[in-house]
Amino acid sequence: MLRLPRFSYLRPASVAEAVAMLADHGDRSSVIAGGTDLLPKMKRRQVQPTVLVGIAHLEALSHRETTASGAVEIGASRTLTSVLKDAELAHHQPGYAQAAGLVSSPALRNTGTVGGNLCVDTRCNYYDMSEEWRTASGSCLKTGGELCRLAPSSPRCWAISSSDTAPIAVALGATAVVAGPEGEREVPVASLYRDDGNAHLALGRGEILTRLRLPAPDGWRSSYVKLRRRSSMDFPLAGAAVALKIDRGVVEGCRLVLGAVASQPVELSDLVHGLVGQPLDEEAIEEVASGASRLAKPLDNADLSYVWRKRMVKEIVARAFRQAATSEVAAVP
């Protein structure tokens, strides 16, 4: 069995204390929520924090609230399972609930959190391997080496954004509340991410994501379709998140975000721009889906071939549009 390295575990009493602890310990420390992403990575020595600051127990991070306007706020440390059991949420934000339900397996969803899922590390099959394997293959940019094993001439890391909930959160226009040494700030989820596999999060040192805020449905429908090899457990090979507002058959607003085809969720606003003001028929869906597939640039660092993954982007985008178009529109409370 791969064993965990030695580390100390700190249990802050508040978000502020957690932030202070992270500031204290700097680079040696890491936030741990459910640990379903972090701990396996530590076993493989991909990351080696010596101090873990636990946040799963913090009351302030497990709240759940629907505001008067109909926006839903979810504490970052709520489990994905609690999201699935949340009937109101499933009704208002079916796309988000769908995505949460497609993460890994029931056991991992019981432990994995909303915040952890948004922050989950990028993946690459040259990287998500044991220390021994990486010694045999040689290190890469993401493990302190000189070059990218996948694309040796590339100056950057292409590890894949692999969160299932990030694309839909971006599509829904969700915002994230972040606590840090300078206090709290609220940012669009989209701006949490950077197109760099080696530094995919735009969070400052010591910053903690405390809440996810999903805006009121306000007539928007949503859907998330995930491409994966098996019926459970597997990370996305591609994901398509669609948010759609249709009035009497005509598109009033539309957002399409792809997951797992780049180092961050990829919003294709130009592509869907033309849909607005048009009826959403099969022809329009096909055209957008083909366009998405053309724009998606998966690389050879995940399961199955990247040619097939690229081709399948068309299918999942079309499926997501069809699903969103036929989903119910939540009544504003």
Ligand X SMILES: Cc1cc2nc3c(=O)[nH]c(=O)nc-3n(C[C@H](O)[C@H](O)[C@H](O)COP(=O)(O)OP(=O)(O)OC[C@H]3O[C@@H](n4cnc5c(N)ncnc54)[C@H](O)[C@@H]3O)c2cc1C
Identify what 119 binds: ligand X, another protein, ligand SF4, none; CB under 5 to 8 Å per kind. ligand X
Q: Of these, 51, 140, 190, 209, which contacts ligand X (CB under 6 A)?
A: 209
CB distance 163 to 117 below 8 Å = yes
Segment near ligand X (CB under 6 A); pick from 20-28, 100-108, 141-149, 182-190: 100-108
CB closer to ligand X out of 193 and 271: 193
168 binds ligand X (CB under 6 A): no
**CA gyration radius, the chain:** 20
What is the spatial distance between Cα 77 and Cα 145, in angstroms, rounded to a whole number? 33
* Residue whose tokens read 């040494």: 181
What is the spatial distance between Cα 150 and Cα 142, in angstroms, rounded to a whole number? 11
CB distance 52 to 42 below 8 Å = no
Identify what 124 binds: ligand SF4, another protein, ligand X, none; CB under 5 to 8 Å per kind. ligand SF4
Q: Of these, 18, 42, 119, 237, which contacts ligand X (CB under 6 A)?
A: 119
For the chain, how are helix, strand and coil distributed in percent, rounded to 5? 35, 20, 45
Shortest Å, Cβ 1 to another protein: 6
CB distance 208 to 116 below 8 Å = no
Segment near ligand SF4 (CB under 6 A); pick from 106-114, 139-147, 242-250, 277-285: 139-147
Q: Of these, 29, 92, 118, 126, which contacts ligand SF4 (CB under 6 A)?
A: 126
Shortest Å, Cβ 50 to ligand X: 14
36 binds ligand X (CB under 6 A): yes
Residue 200's nearest CA partner among 189, 210, 211 is 189
What is the spatial distance between Cα 172 and Cα 168, in angstroms, rounded to a whole number? 6
Q: Of these, 115, 180, 217, 291, which contacts ligand X (CB under 6 A)?
A: 115
* Residue whose tokens read 């990486």: 134
Shortest Å, Cβ 129 to another protein: 7
Shortest Å, Cβ 1 to ligand X: 15
Q: In what order do the strands lie in the sheet with 51-54?
A: 8-10, 51-54, 29-32
Residues 188-227 that bind ligand SF4 (CB under 6 A): 197
Shortest Å, Cβ 99 to another protein: 18
Q: Of these, 42, 58, 103, 141, which contacts ligand X (CB under 6 A)?
A: 103
Q: Of these, 35, 70, 101, 274, which contacts ligand X (CB under 6 A)?
A: 35
CB atoms within 10 A of CB 65: 11
Query: Cβ contacts of residue 293 below 8 Å, gap of 6+?
Result: 310, 311, 312, 313, 314, 317
What is the spatial distance between Cα 238 and Cα 317, in angstroms, rounded to a whole number? 10
149 binds ligand SF4 (CB under 6 A): yes
258 binds ligand X (CB under 6 A): no
Q: Give the DSSP letter of residue 279.
A: B
* Residue whose tokens read 């040689």: 138
Shortest Å, Cβ 15 to ligand X: 9
Residues in the site for ligand X, rule: CB under 6 A? 30-38, 40, 55, 76, 80, 103-104, 108, 111-113, 115-117, 119-121, 162-164, 208-209, 233-235
Residues in the site for ligand SF4, rule: CB under 6 A? 124, 126-127, 140-142, 148-150, 157-159, 197, 301
